[in-house]
Structure 1
């Protein structure tokens, strides 16, 4: 209904300027489709495509979209440097351009632009909002049981190891307030792969920021090839293990010397 769209626009305008960063590598079959859906669902929101020199021509397609729509922007990178590196480049661009809210989502349609409003509404009293598969009301579509078990188990492992109360710390459908990204010091982030998502949510909690999760329906891609594999997942868990053990040792050392509990001991607020 037109009235509903106006209400959405009013709520978003209260947050300031919003941009959603979409990293791409070989997403020629999806990029125009997903950008079109996002622009129709949230016409007040800008889009930044960050392309890692896709050999299938994704970057050129994105350039064409930008020519046709002034709210679509494209950032070209020299080569495939990892998901985290692409997001860091996009976040830096968005902060320099003066955006107040910076979002992130996949290019393959697994994150539904029509559900972005849920995240933006929740950001009114949060610093970071995560579109979560594993909170009540969240779901996945077309996933084999093995992959669901891997994701659920991986997130449980993250919660136990890092001591954070986030059900879907590996999720990639998010919105940040610019102040949150500025506070966690993006220049010091070294994560480049899928562990990047866990890194950023943990940094937010360590700095005492408010993290909320809202339920989404995650749909497995129907076009193109997934960049996630068992090997990638295992490598991410290995990196999280190394990182988590180091964090715990540092916390124990601090407490042994009478230091206050680390900000990470504060549970995420939903």
Structure 2
């Protein structure tokens, strides 16, 4: 691992109708980490989020904006942002929500952990992690979903669905982003599984996740259930593949 520092760092922030939050979140990030760049990926927000992002970029050379014409899902937005960041030569590429739920002031925890990791996750469900202003039902759904992921996919990550992350450039290059087809929230679990399958190291650090106070959440019960369906199909395929491999090995 690189012990001389992380190099050039950019945080990708996908947006759709986040006019009430974007300037506030970007301002906090730039204040907390002046050496970290920001890439806003806007999916054609009708509420003017893209124009706010352009104004931020015009006033701050560390802020860039990638405009997309359609809302195609969180994963699709991140993939576009990752490709942009890789082409721009960044060494570390991060993920952060635009609604303030991921506190920019805690980014240093992820940066510090990157010294001996290929992917760092800001985790709600490791000791020291927490959530604020969540109803019990949503916490139960998240904890249960992550337990299901661990059992079905056989991974040890406590918060595989988390969206506060830092990837090394080499990590994203090694897992072959061109092969990633998941576009919704299941994208987060997909990438964790790919990083682990590549034999790379994932670390989790505790964060405090704060429920948004402005704008509408993009997460719903239906979205969560759809993600679990996709994870189930992956897990079943993987178990069948392993069973076939064991059978062939004994022939």
TM-score, normalising length: structure 2: 0.97
2:102 is equivalent to residue 111 of structure 1: yes
**Quick one: structure 1 residues 73 and 136, their matched pair in 2 at CA, closer, same or farther if it must change by over 3 Å?**
same
| Equivalent residue, structure 1, for 2:7 | 16
Pair 1:29-2:20 in alignment: yes
1:220-235 to structure 2, matched below 5 A, reads: 220-235=211-226
* C-alpha contact 2:3 2:115 (8 A) present in aligned 1: no
Whether 1:56 and 2:47 are equivalent positions in the alignment is yes
Q: CA offsets per residue over residues 240-261 of structure 1, 9 Å max, x none?
A: 11111111111222232239xx
CA distance in 2, matches of 1:172, 1:252: 32
- 2:175 counterpart residue number: 184
2:152 corresponding residue in structure 1: 161
Could you say which residue in structure 2 is the equivalent of 1:240? Answer: 231
Conservation of the 8 A alpha-carbon contact between 1:38 and 1:114: yes
Instruction: Kindly indicate whether the alpha-carbon contact (under 8 Å) linking 1:12 and 1:120 is maintained by their aligned counterparts in 2.
Output: no
SS of residue in 2 equivalent to 1:212: strand
Offset at residue 20 of structure 1 (A): 0.2
Aligned partner of 1:8 in structure 2 is: none
Matches within 5 A, 1:46-195: 46-195=37-186
Q: C-alpha distance in 1, partners of 2:121/2:247?
A: 34
Deviations 1:82-103 (A, max 9, x none): 0000000000000000000000
Q: 1 CA distance for matches of 2:205 and 2:249?
A: 37
Confirm or deny: 8 A CA contact 1:41 1:113 kept in the other structure.
Answer: yes
* Distance across 2 between alignment mates of 1:127 and 1:256: 34
- Root mean square deviation, CA, Å: 1.3
Cα deviation, residue 200, structure 1: 0.1
Indicate how the Cα distance of structure 1 residues 250 and 139 shifts in structure 2: closer, same or farther if over 3 A, else same. same
Structure 1, unpaired ranges of 5+ = 1-10, 260-270
Please give the alpha-carbon distance, in whole angstroms, between the structure 2 residues aligned to 1:256 and 1:47: 50
**Aligned partners of 1:23 and 1:49 also within 8 Å:** yes
Structure 2 residue runs without a partner (length 5+): none
Counting matched residue pairs gives 249
Work out the CA distance in 2 between the residues paired with 1:12 and 1:140.
Answer: 32
TM-score, normalising length from structure 1?
0.90
**What is the SS of the residue equivalent to 1:257?**
helix
